[in-house]
A = this chain, B = another copy of it.
């Protein structure tokens, strides 16, 4: 696993976990790797993994059973999608449209790129 240096590692780990959940690699109520195990997998200090797990727990995306480990929350996917969609619609899209305006890019061009991407 390689990390970009322009974003905090613990945030990238958070992202990584959420993607694994979305892809159902880690299904609901499944145990996720312990902080030590995951840390050694991706070559990151367990404390840093812990920080990511901590936030994920606050967001109710994972939960903890004392002495056993962290588990995927039953409604994790729903929560993640809800959060991300909010951000997408209220932050990402407006930014996209504003940039399009400034650069005088038409919608057609976006659609063109989209079709290229899908194929």
Contact = CB atoms under 8 A, between A and B. Distances in A.
Contacts of A65: 5
A19 B99 CA distance: 10
Contact of A117 (B19, B66, B81, B97): B97
B102 A22 contact: yes
B103 A92 contact: no
A108 to B, nearest CB: 11
A103 B117 contact: no
B103 A81 contact: yes
Interface of A: 5, 8-9, 19, 22-23, 63-66, 81, 84-85, 88-89, 92-94, 96-97, 99, 102-103, 105, 107, 110-111, 113-114, 117-118
